[in-house]
Amino acid sequence: MNAIRKIGNLFSLFRQAFGEYAWSIALMAALNFLSGLLEGIGVTAIIPLFSFIGGATKANDTISLAIAELFRFLHLPYTAKFLLFFMVALFLSKAVFLFFSQQITAKIMADFEERTRSMLLRITFAARWPFLSSQKVGHLDQMLTTEVVASSSILYYLSGAALVSANLIIYSILVLNISTIIALLAFISGACIFFVFLPLLTKTKIVSIDMVRENKRLAHFANEHTIG
């Protein structure tokens, strides 16, 4: 129940911070997902290509049959040359989608950082002196230079998560096509590794919180002694 509450709070904070960029974030995630799909399909197309190179007349695996059906639907000859062109086109399309996604991500991050810094400065300058005198020198500096950048980096990780999700889907299908047993063993191994390193993730979270506090303390110490 506590975990569900934390996830709900996380989504609520994300909506408050990036709600006005909802459509741009959705477009960014969609482009990254498509980019990952195209990359995965391009990699899996190596299987039928190797079949042509090896001299096999026809590959019978699921992926090769699906690609052959796509060529038939597009009225293209299913040959090694056209299959190679198909792979190149997929990787080029992937690069184009990824480029536009990165441009959108960079624009959102820059706009978020600019607006957040402006808001923090506006609120600070509008505050009364009794409140300002109770604050520590250097904390605002850390918020403007470090914490705002760290907050905007959430979009970067979200962009990467969409790309990884698409790759996970495609490569899972590829592994299942090769061997169900191997896919099951890989899944079990991945789950075991996750739970083994889960305590390290918790430790990393604690260290990150301590690092933020230490940065603020050092900034306060440096600014206070500089002012004299």
pLDDT tens per residue, range 200-219: 888 888 888 888 777 777 77
Measured CA to CA, the distance from residue 40 to residue 58 in angstroms comes to 22
Contact present, 179 and 99 (Cβ < 8 Å): no
Six token digits for residue 48: 């039928």
Placement of tokens 């096999």 in the chain: 56
Measured CA to CA, the distance from residue 39 to residue 90 in angstroms comes to 7
Measured CA to CA, the distance from residue 78 to residue 57 in angstroms comes to 11
Measured CA to CA, the distance from residue 156 to residue 107 in angstroms comes to 11
The band of 1, judged by pLDDT with boundaries at 50, 70 and 90, is low
pLDDT tens per residue, range 76-109: 888 888 888 888 898 899 899 989 988 998 898 8
Better-scored residue on pLDDT, 195 or 211: 195
pLDDT tens per residue, range 41-51: 888 888 777 77
Six token digits for residue 201: 């993730």
Measured CA to CA, the distance from residue 164 to residue 61 in angstroms comes to 25
Residues 6 or more apart whose Cβ sits within 8 Å of residue 220 = 136, 137, 138, 139
Tell me how far CA of residue 184 lies from CA of 181, 187, 190, 191, in angstroms: 5, 5, 10, 11
Q: What is the pTM of this model?
A: 0.74
pLDDT tens per residue, range 161-182: 888 888 888 778 777 777 788 8
Six token digits for residue 115: 């607006």
Contact present, 109 and 152 (Cβ < 8 Å): yes
State the amino acid at position 200 in one-letter form: L
